[in-house]
Structure 1
Amino acid sequence: MPTPVIICDDSSFARKQVMHALPAGWNVDITFCENGRQAIESIEAGKGDILLLDLNMPVMDGFEVLQYIRQKDLPTLPIVISGDIQPDTHRLVMSLGAVAFIRKPIDSAELTRILDQFGVLGILTDNQAAPKIQVTFNDWIQEISNVAMGRAADLLVRLINERVELSIPHVSLMARGEVEMTLNATAHGDNFTCITQGFIGSGIAGENLMLFHDTNIQHVARLFDFDLRQSETPSEVELYIEIANVLVGAFLKGFAEQLDVSFSQGHPHLAIYSQESGMTLARRKGHDRILTIEVNYEIGDKQIRCNQLVLLTPESIPALKKRSGGEFN
């Protein structure tokens, strides 16, 4: 009799990765869920003796799923598979009842070891035909960005010892005007500081933008043990660049490693914008359409919010698709 297994992740590419990581010959009946609410309904319907669970999802996230499972004592074995690899995240999910935590991208040998440890594999038989999952280009980029974002947050946490809340990355191909509107919306009409930094490698090129609200500078200084009262403006600039370098460097490194490429990064530049001055960053781009990745970080109990926008040239799209391993046409 097949073992009922739920794979719950909002990314179709991640669901496909997890499915292919299941032990060969394991007799399973797979249910795919795109959010935590669907997973709960499937468990209550008896479709999830094993739950392979992402954390960062819409509607109902993985933390809420674990809390609900514990409160209702639902019969499932939850294994978390996440790109959010902060130490606090690991501790929290284990305290909520997860039996194991696997970092993305998933390692099939680690998953097999964990399943065998809990005695749920049984006798492995011949390979089964795997269900087909349609993966779009945007889904694939979103999942790569999700893993890269998690690595960036983990590095920052280890430097400042504060938790970082992560958003779900948003990927879209935008016209220049749409990018400008996104930048303006991200700024919330406030004064803000923007760090821009170009990158290029293996036919992929773009610019990374980190936006910090000026009201956040005191909190940034506190986290880095920086005394602004004894510093001049150039030192404030250094402070913004320091935190941007951590997030951008780790993000781009994680992004590149998943593509098996390396990026050369330009020198970071800082600009201060006000509501009156308007946002013109998008207008200086020489492309009609720009592949845009939006990521948000909330640092130190939401005292600091910074927004990351990765703008990729349209010429980068064919180079990215070549690195996909034939995930889509």
Structure 2
Amino acid sequence: MPIPVIICDDSSFARKQVTRALPSGWDVDLTFCANGREAVAAIEAGQGDILLLDLTMPVMDGFEVLEYIRKQDLPTLPIVISGDIQPESYKRVMALGAVAFIKKPVDPAELTRVLDEFGVLGILTEQELQATGQVTFTEWVQEITNVAMGRAADLLVRVVNEKVELTIPHVSLLERGELEMTLNATAHGDSFSCITQGFIGGGISGENLLLFHDTDIRHVAELLNFDLNHLETSSEIELYMDIANVLVGAFLKGFAEQLDICFSQGHPRITIHSQDSAVILANHQGHERILTIEVNYVIGDNQIRCNQLVLITPESIAALKLRSGEEIG
């Protein structure tokens, strides 16, 4: 008799990836959910003896799902599969009742080991499991971004010893005018400081923008144990650079590793107290669409907001698609 299994992730690419990672021939009845609310309803309907659960999702995230399962004592075996690999996130999900935590991208051997450890594999059949749904290019990039974002946050946590909150990354193809509006919205209409840094490798090139809001600078100094009595423009730049080096370096490394390439990074440039998005977009002319990745971080108890935009050139899109193999349509 097939075992009812739920794969819950807002990314269709991630759902497909997890499906392919399941043991070949395992006799299961799969249910796919795009958010926690759908997963809870499916468990209550008897469709999820085993739950393979993402954390960062809309409507109802993975933490809320685990809380609900514990509160309602729902009959399911929750296994978290997430790109948010911060130690605090691991501790929290295990405290909420998850039986295992597997980092993205999921390793089939590790997933099989975890399932076998709990005795749920039974006797494997010859049935081949097939992923459902077509994955778009932007969905594929978003899942790669999700993993890279988790690695960047994990490294920053280890540096500052503070929790980093993550939101769902957003990926889109934007023309220059649309990109300018996105940048202005990201800046929330305030003056901001922006660190820009180019990168290139494997036929892919682009620019990383990291935006800080100037009202946060004293909190940034406290976060990095900087003497506030010596806070000057030069030291302000150093503070921004310290965080940028951690986030940008870890993000680009995580992104590139999933594509099996390496990025070379250019020298970072900083624009202080800017309200002019045209200055930042000066290198992006023409009408071709730019692949734009938006990531938001909220750092520590003081809620330091850091907005990241990764702009990938139109010429790089073909090289990216080649790296996807047969993953996207």
With normalisation by structure 2, the TM-score equals: 0.97
Measured after TM superposition, the shift of residue 77 of structure 1 is 0.3
Given residue 262 of structure 1, which amino acid in structure 2 is its aligned partner?
C
The 2-side partners of 1:191 and 1:233 are apart by: 15
1:282 has 2:245 as partner: no
SS in 2 for 1:81: strand
**Using a 3 Å threshold, how does the CA distance of structure 1 residues 213 and 131 change in structure 2: closer, same or farther?**
closer
CA contact (8 A) 2:8 2:35 kept: yes
The 2-side partners of 1:194 and 1:129 are apart by: 46
In structure 2, the gaps of 5 or more residues are none
| Counterpart mapping for 1:175-194 below 5 A | 175-194=175-194
Measured after TM superposition, the shift of residue 199 of structure 1 is 0.3
Structure 1 counterpart of 2:224: 224
CA contact (8 A) 2:186 2:307 kept: yes
In structure 1, the gaps of 5 or more residues are none
Measured after TM superposition, the shift of residue 271 of structure 1 is 0.2
Measured after TM superposition, the shift of residue 279 of structure 1 is 4.4
Measured after TM superposition, the shift of residue 132 of structure 1 is 3.0
The 2-side partners of 1:250 and 1:274 are apart by: 26
- Post-superposition Cα deviations, 1:103-162, rounded to whole Å, max 9, x if no partner, equal 000011111111111111111121324243310000000000000000000000000100
SS in 2 for 1:315: helix
Measured after TM superposition, the shift of residue 231 of structure 1 is 4.2
The 1-side partners of 2:39 and 2:302 are apart by: 28
Measured after TM superposition, the shift of residue 327 of structure 1 is 1.1
1:309 has 2:313 as partner: no
**Using a 3 Å threshold, how does the CA distance of structure 1 residues 302 and 33 change in structure 2: closer, same or farther?**
farther
The 1-side partners of 2:303 and 2:30 are apart by: 41
CA contact (8 A) 1:287 1:313 kept: no
CA contact (8 A) 1:153 1:247 kept: yes
The 2-side partners of 1:296 and 1:266 are apart by: 22
Aligned length: 328
SS in 1 for 2:59: coil
| Counterpart mapping for 1:1-329 below 5 A | 1-275=1-275, 277=276, 279-288=278-287, 289-301=289-301, 303-329=303-329
The 2-side partners of 1:131 and 1:232 are apart by: 55
CA contact (8 A) 1:7 1:51 kept: yes
CA contact (8 A) 1:151 1:250 kept: yes
SS in 2 for 1:328: coil
| Larger displacement relative to structure 2 (313-322 or 226-235) | 226-235
Overall identity of the aligned pairs, in %: 73
Cα RMSD (Å) of the superposition?
1.2
Given residue 25 of structure 2, which amino acid in structure 1 is its aligned partner?
G
